């Protein structure tokens, strides 16, 4: 590719052009540094962000950066941020504050911020004011543009290389050496951007972006934009490529996979997509995340129950067991309909693990509402749950609702819910004692150097004696001893 010509307009060609150009900047940087240019990506938040980080790493490696395990010593540091709750925001500010001290020791370091939090104007304003040493800010819609942004910013080499602002972009705002490129919304889905997988044998696969549900507490629809599905053909092509590259487990990712396919030229349901994904040779396990209870179809339950590859696990966020609170949350289901759905899934797919998310302390929530949540936990018997104290997010409808719950009361109710879900998860896990199940071996165990760890189809973790050669393969393991939320087992040959 000739990089003296104007950058192509079309994606992803345009980005490959900038990756080459950025590689030249990297070479200049390395000549001055007298060593290799390194990067570190820190991910906050959900699976979606984790997958985006793999794409960021893929672009950086294509440019020629090598990974540095440490955020402090890397030349190029990216924070892929989350803003779903306030504590995620606070964690980022903490890390940035920490790097400030470090920054003076490494004036060449480039700090880039991206992800959900950057889609919020108030957060960007705060960073401009309080953390002016941040170099690049971009959002969730333009992850694929990292190389282009690096070219705009240039790489520091102790002096200004003069490469900054060489290629102004349409949405760029320039000031105080910070390159900011936030898109408020886009329909564009750019395919074929390189990525580096954290695990060689498993990978996330985005099937859709954004969310249209507007649950009243949630900031995601504002920061990730409207729902857009990738074309089934593109998804299957990616899965085929992953399989050819040694991947055996895929996780299909979307904020609400049950509404996959809406708005596509050729409408396809999520269940149909799963059927296609199943046909890909080499793929042995399929997971997906997240399912909204309001539109989980019988067709999906049917496809899951008759599948050999779809894992026996569904993440089905309850949020609250009180129908009154669910209505205020804009969730479109009730306590009764949730219980009915969960029990139907259990009946049709024996052995399935159902996990959930629960929010405690939503505006006006009383002890009686929490009693309803406890009742759902009891009736459904969750295999696992993430419990969160409600966090007020700016500009969401719930933020201005009357009856915000005092933190000490939320904490008290939170403890009741936590105790119940822990008990339920322990009980469900223990039911498998003595059974022999398939385990995908993922890594060496951190419990014992002679042990490896892996996951059951239900997503439960198992540690058993084994060598590192087993990593990436599926083996049969007898589940001997349940230790709360994981098992110690023994391989059965």
26 interacts with, out of ligand 5AD, ligand SF4, none, CB within 5 to 8 A per kind: none
Q: Which of 335, 393, 455, 463 binds ligand 5AD (CB under 6 A)?
A: 393
Return the sign of the alpha-carbon dihedral for residues 151, 152, 154, 160: positive
CB of 80 to ligand 5AD, least distance (A): 16
Site string for ligand 5AD, 195-234 (x = CB under 6 A): ----------------------xx----------------
> Pairing mode, if any, of strands 136-138 and 76-81?
unpaired
Q: Are residues 219 and 489 in contact, defined by beta-carbon separation less than 8 angstroms?
A: no
C-beta of 255: minimal distance to ligand SF4 in Å? 4
> From residue 476, how far is each of 142, 283, 326 by CA, in Å?
42, 18, 41
d(CA 80, CA 45): 8
Stretch that binds ligand 5AD, among 6-14, 93-101, 131-139, 390-398 (CB under 6 A): 390-398
DSSP 178: E
Smallest separation (angstroms) from ligand SF4 to the CB of 209: 11
With CB under 5 to 8 Å by kind, the binding choice for 214 among ligand SF4, ligand 5AD, none is ligand SF4
DSSP annotation of 316: -
Contact 348, 305 (CB under 8 A): yes
Q: Is the peptide bond before 290 cis (omega within 30 degrees of 0)?
A: yes
Beta bridge partners of 178: 175
Tell me the per-residue interface mask from 358 to 377 with ligand 5AD, x by CB under 6 A, - otherwise: -x------------------
Nearest CB to ligand 5AD, comparing residues 256 and 453: 256
Is the CB of residue 279 less than 8 Å from the CB of residue 254? Answer: no
User: Distance (Å, rounded) from C-alpha 378 to C-alpha 147?
Assistant: 50
Which residues within the stretch 44-103 sit at the binding site for ligand 5AD (CB under 6 A)? 84-85
Which of 215, 417 has the CB closer to ligand SF4? Answer: 215
Q: Which of ligand 5AD, ligand SF4, none does residue 201 bind (CB under 5 to 8 Å by kind)?
A: none
- Cα-Cα-Cα-Cα torsion 261, 262, 268, 272, nearest 10 degrees, comes to 60
* CB of residue 390 to ligand 5AD, shortest distance in Å: 5
Q: Residue 194 or 317: which CB sits closer to ligand 5AD?
A: 317
317 binds ligand 5AD (CB under 6 A): yes
Residues lying near ligand SF4 in the complex (CB under 6 A) are found at 211, 213-215, 218, 220-221, 255-256, 292
Among 291, 391, 424, 453, binds ligand 5AD (CB under 6 A): 391
The whole-angstrom separation of Cα 178 and Cα 158 is 16
Residue among 218 and 316 whose Cβ is closer to ligand SF4:
218
Strands 228-229 and 208-209: antiparallel
Spatial separation of the C-alpha atoms in residues 230 and 266, rounded to whole Å: 11
Tell me which residues touch ligand 5AD (CB under 6 A). 84-85, 217-218, 317, 319, 357, 359, 388, 390-391, 393
């Amino acid at each position: 590719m000739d990089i003296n010509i104007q950058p192509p307009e079309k994606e992803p060609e345009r980005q490959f052009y900038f990756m080459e150009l950025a590689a030249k900047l990297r070479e200049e940087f390395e000549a001055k540094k007298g060593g290799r240019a390194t990067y570190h990506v820190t991910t906050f938040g959900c699976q979606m962000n984790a997958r985006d980080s793999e794409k960021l790493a893929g672009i950086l490696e294509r440019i020629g950066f090598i990974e540095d395990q440490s955020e402090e010593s890397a030349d190029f540091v990216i924070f892929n941020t989350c803003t779903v709750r306030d504590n995620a925001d606070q964690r980022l500010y903490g890390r940035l504050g920490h790097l400030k001290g470090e920054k003076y020791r490494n004036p060449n370091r480039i700090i880039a911020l991206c992800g959900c939090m950057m889609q919020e104007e108030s957060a960007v304003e705060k960073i401009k004011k309080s953390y002016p040493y941040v170099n690049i800010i971009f959002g969730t819609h333009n992850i694929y543009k990292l190389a282009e942004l690096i070219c705009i910013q240039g790489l520091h080499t102790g002096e200004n290389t003069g490469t900054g602002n060489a290629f102004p972009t349409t949405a760029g705002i320039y000031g105080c050496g910070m390159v900011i490129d936030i898109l408020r919304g886009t329909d564009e889905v750019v395919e074929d951007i390189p990525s580096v997988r954290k695990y060689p044998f498993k990978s996330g696969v985005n099937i859709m972006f954004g969310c249209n549900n507007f649950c009243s507490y949630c900031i995601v629809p504002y920061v990730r934009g409207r729902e857009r599905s990738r074309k089934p053909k593109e998804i299957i092509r990616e899965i085929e490529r992953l399989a050819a590259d040694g991947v055996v487990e895929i996780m299909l990712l979307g904020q609400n996979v049950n509404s996959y396919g809406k708005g596509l030229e050729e409408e396809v349901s999520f269940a149909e997509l799963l059927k296609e994904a199943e046909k890909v040779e080499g793929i042995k396990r399929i997971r997906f995340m997240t399912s909204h209870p309001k539109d989980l179809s019988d067709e999906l339950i049917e496809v899951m129950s008759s599948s050999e590859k779809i894992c026996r696990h569904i993440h089905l966020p309850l949020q609250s067991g009180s129908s009154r609170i669910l209505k205020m949350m804009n969730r479109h289901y009730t306590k009764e309909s949730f219980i009915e759905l969960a029990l139907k899934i259990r009946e049709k797919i024996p052995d399935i693990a159902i996990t959930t998310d629960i929010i405690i302390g939503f505006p006006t929530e009383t002890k009686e509402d929490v009693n309803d949540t406890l009742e759902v936990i009891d009736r459904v018997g969750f295999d696992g749950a993430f419990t969160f104290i409600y966090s007020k997010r700016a500009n969401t409808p719930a933020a201005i609702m009357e009856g915000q719950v005092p933190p000490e009361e939320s904490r008290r109710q939170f403890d009741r819910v936590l105790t119940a879900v822990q008990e339920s998860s322990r009980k469900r896990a223990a039911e498998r004692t003595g059974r022999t199940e398939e385990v995908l071996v993922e890594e060496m165990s951190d419990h014992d150097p002679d042990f490896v760890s892996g996951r059951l189809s239900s997503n439960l973790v198992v540690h058993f004696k084994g060598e590192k050669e087993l990593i990436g393969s599926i083996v049969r393991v007898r589940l001997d001893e349940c230790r709360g939320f994981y098992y110690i087992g023994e391989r059965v040959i």
